[in-house]
Structure 1
Amino acid sequence: MFQMIVTGLLCGALLGFVMQRGRFCLTGGFRDMYIAKDNRMFYALLIAIAIQSVGVFSLIQFGVIEFSAGSFPWLAVILGSFVFGIGIVLAGGCATGTWYRAGEGLLGSWIALFGYMFMSAVMKSGLLVPVNQSIQSVQLPSNSIAETTGLSVWIYILLFVAIVVGIVIKQQKKPKIAIPTMKPKRTGLAHLLFEKRWHPFFSAILVGLIAILAWPLSEATGRMSGLGITTPSANILQYLVTGDRLFVNWGIFLVLGIFLGSFIAAKGSNEFRFRMPDAKTGITSFIGGNLMGFGASLAGGCSIGNGLVMTAMMTWQGWVSLLFIILGTWTASYFIFVRPKVRKKSPTVQTKINMA
């Protein structure tokens, strides 16, 4: 138990610290791809996936860890991921983003987090278990892309790494935009950790390395998986309600560590402060959190469990899920951000037509 607590909190704290300081927000990244035509955070995600893929399959190759892709519940992944994508826009952050923003003192994220934990628990051990199991029962026999095609997984990994390297080189050749910065108030390590603006690609490298670290630390405690947010979040509520210690595992301390690491980063950079949302934002955050919990439970993972980890493991579940999370994010972004602006412009256009 002591090992579980220490390694889980440590890994989670590292992830929370990096995500908070690097503003590693996949919700904003997916939204910006559509609204601002800015792909940097998506490219950062690809970097983290590539690093984790090379590292984890190397560990598998040397017999350090074990992994089984299992079957592919395609219908649940498609539906759940799309709903999850809608939910993260309403909640103002994905599963991990909600945990780390809660650590910054954002009370709207606390509301979303409760909705997320509540619905995840309902889907995994409550009234909606039959619905969850019924949709997940629609499966294809193989989830591994390599097994399906009969090719070595290293072919896909090396091809993917080559694509990511090409993207990074192309991005680095683009003209740099000068960003005004204030005169540093700190020096040395304190400046680098708590004051200097982190590049998304640098943050992605650290996230990828932490994702690799999570595998052996988790498997050493009997949890045969890497980073994961949805099930551990549900487990916290399940344990508090039932008192059953079977729900206590490495993943619980991982997500609590994310909160702790984000709090440390926010306090160190003077970004921590309690912020109370208005009533409308609070309600929207709660609805978004519930949609996140429903979608992630159905899909078997969130933007981290599927979008970062299962993609790195070269599974159909990971890549199909990532696609539909993005599509769900874009759909919600259209109705929340784009369409209202179009409607505001329409009367002006119509007035000009009538005057003409």
Structure 2
Amino acid sequence: MPLLFDNPWLTLLAGAALVGLAFGAIAAATRYCNMGAVSDWVLTGDPGRMRAWLLSIAVAVAGVALLEAGGVFDLDQTRVNYRAAEFPWLRYLLGGLLFGVGMVLAGGCTTKTLVNIGQGDMKSLWAYVVVGITAAVLLYWSEARWFIDQTLAWPQLSFETVGIAHQDLGALLAGIPWGGTREHWRLATALTVTAGLIAWLWRMDHGQRMRRADLIGGLGIGLVITAGWLWTGSPAGQALMGEAALAFEPPKGTGTQSLSFVAPAAEVLRLAESPALGLVTFGMVAMLGVIVGAGIWAVLRGHFRLQGFRAWSQFASYSAGGLLMGAGGIIAMGCSVGQGLSGTSTLAVGSLIAVGGIVLGAFVTLKIMLYRALYPESRRRSLACALLADLRLIPRRCHPFRDEAPTGERPAGCSR
């Protein structure tokens, strides 16, 4: 394959930049935001951005399945081993919950945080710095890494104990002796999931058409995630990585991968400490591409505005949010993009659990903020009962605020 540069790793990084630019521009233009999807749904009942998120998952799942069935790439061995036989369910769930709470406190998921940075939001820049510092501590401090890898892996579960080498839905179904190869089950499962998501999208708003922005955002982001896998996992990408691995100082961060935005924040800090081309990773360049892509869109549309903190309470909220997103992203082995899009596109069960934790954490946090704003005189017990009723864990008739008129004001939804 002819190289864009003399260095094969630079060629791969150039592709990462293009993937990131596309992601950032699409997210900025369509207001694509995973936290915004949950926020709109909880605070206003608007399913638009949730439909965009689900559509992007459907597109990525179908794209990955078709390309994998065609032998274009193999996602059984990826840099973040989403399909690993080891199944630390507690990590997936706990990390997802922490990330979900954090993205509400920080005013947006990692996607929105990067888009906001590109549009001049210094609050989001600070939150992402905290994400990076937290992630770096958990990744590079040996004691913290040991705690996560060993303690949070309890109880040790592995699908290999029942003769199944991978944790994705297709591999699990293929492990049941009812005929068919793993490849056939993966394709059938992916197409079934895609069809189910499309049907759910139609029913979410009573058959109403999706808004054009949500449709473009869902399709575009799903294709970008697929493009990340294609660029790094195709024969051309694998050949470039093989050449890069033969260098005198092989680069870090090689391997088949798509987008994720927590670990790259830590990698930037490592690069700042010891600058070297080999420390520049695919994820890092893609992340910077998202910021630049969103920034270009903001400048062209006249939306670029420098913004800072207005109160110490806002600073504290963004700091806590960044801390929880950084910790949650490392513990769950991915964020709302790393697990919520790249991971789910492989149909890994762990990714699905992590996404469930992210949505649950955001849902609970948003509901608490909503009820505290609307019913400032309410007690903690009332909040707990309201959450249990909202989660359908107790009958709706037990909801403490069902017949009570609010005395406060409804909080604002997700950032613009």
TM-score, structure 1 as length reference: 0.86
Counterpart residue number, 2:355: 322
Q: 1:128-207, aligned counterparts within 5 Å? A: 128-138=144-154, 139-142=156-159, 143-150=167-174, 152-170=185-203, 174=207, 198-207=212-221
Q: Deviations over 1:207-257 (max 9, x none)?
A: 111111111223424421112212222111122124465532111110000
Q: 1:1-356, aligned counterparts within 5 Å? A: 1-68=9-76, 69-70=83-84, 71-126=86-141, 128-138=144-154, 139-142=156-159, 143-150=167-174, 152-170=185-203, 174=207, 198-219=212-233, 220=237, 221=241, 222-243=254-275, 245-278=277-310, 279-343=312-376
Contact residue 120 and residue 231 of structure 1 kept, 8 A: yes
Does the residue aligned with 1:273 lie in a helix, a strand or coil? Answer: coil
Contact residue 61 and residue 194 of structure 2 kept, 8 A: no
Contact residue 223 and residue 250 of structure 1 kept, 8 A: no
Does the residue aligned with 1:237 lie in a helix, a strand or coil? Answer: helix
Q: Per the alignment, do residues 3 and 175 of structure 1 end up closer, same or farther by CA in structure 2, a change over 3 Å counting? A: closer
- By relative contact order (CA 8 Å, sep 6+), the higher-ranking structure is 1
Runs of 4+ aligned structure 1 residues displaced above 6 Å come to none
1:335 deviation in Å? 2.5
* 41-50 vs 55-64, which moves further: 55-64
Does the residue aligned with 1:153 lie in a helix, a strand or coil? Answer: helix
Alignment size in residue pairs: 330
Does the residue aligned with 2:366 lie in a helix, a strand or coil? Answer: helix
Using the alignment, how far apart are the partners of 1:247 and 1:58 within structure 2?
33
Q: Deviations over 1:260-281 (max 9, x none)?
A: 0000011111111101122221
Using the alignment, how far apart are the partners of 1:329 and 1:296 within structure 2?
14
Contact residue 30 and residue 214 of structure 2 kept, 8 A: yes
Cα RMSD of the aligned pairs, angstroms, is: 2.4
Using the alignment, how far apart are the partners of 1:176 and 1:125 within structure 2?
47
1:64 deviation in Å? 2.0
Using the alignment, how far apart are the partners of 1:173 and 1:89 within structure 2?
28
Q: Deviations over 1:279-319 (max 9, x none)?
A: 22122111100110000100000001111121121111111
Using the alignment, how far apart are the partners of 1:313 and 1:24 within structure 2?
21
Gaps of 5+ in 1: 178-196
Using the alignment, how far apart are the partners of 1:31 and 1:334 within structure 2?
9
Does the residue aligned with 1:326 lie in a helix, a strand or coil? Answer: helix
Q: Which amino acid aligns with 2:316?
A: I
Q: Which amino acid aligns with 1:300?
A: M
1:340 deviation in Å? 2.7
Contact residue 76 and residue 136 of structure 1 kept, 8 A: yes
Does the residue aligned with 1:343 lie in a helix, a strand or coil? Answer: coil
1:128 deviation in Å? 2.0
Using the alignment, how far apart are the partners of 2:157 and 2:11 within structure 1?
37
Gaps of 5+ in 2: 1-8, 77-82, 160-166, 177-184, 242-253, 380-403, 408-416
Does the residue aligned with 1:16 lie in a helix, a strand or coil? Answer: helix
Q: Per the alignment, do residues 198 and 286 of structure 1 end up closer, same or farther by CA in structure 2, a change over 3 Å counting? A: farther
Contact residue 20 and residue 288 of structure 2 kept, 8 A: yes
Looking at secondary structure, tell me which structure has more helix per residue.
Answer: 1
Contact residue 75 and residue 135 of structure 1 kept, 8 A: no
Contact residue 49 and residue 311 of structure 1 kept, 8 A: yes
Contact residue 336 and residue 358 of structure 2 kept, 8 A: yes
Q: Deviations over 1:81-100 (max 9, x none)?
A: 00110000001111122111
Using the alignment, how far apart are the partners of 2:62 and 2:212 within structure 1?
24
Using the alignment, how far apart are the partners of 1:234 and 1:265 within structure 2?
26
1:321 deviation in Å? 0.9
Counterpart residue number, 1:185: none
Does the residue aligned with 2:376 lie in a helix, a strand or coil? Answer: helix
Contact residue 21 and residue 198 of structure 1 kept, 8 A: no
TM-score, structure 2 as length reference: 0.74
Q: Which amino acid aligns with 1:91?
A: A
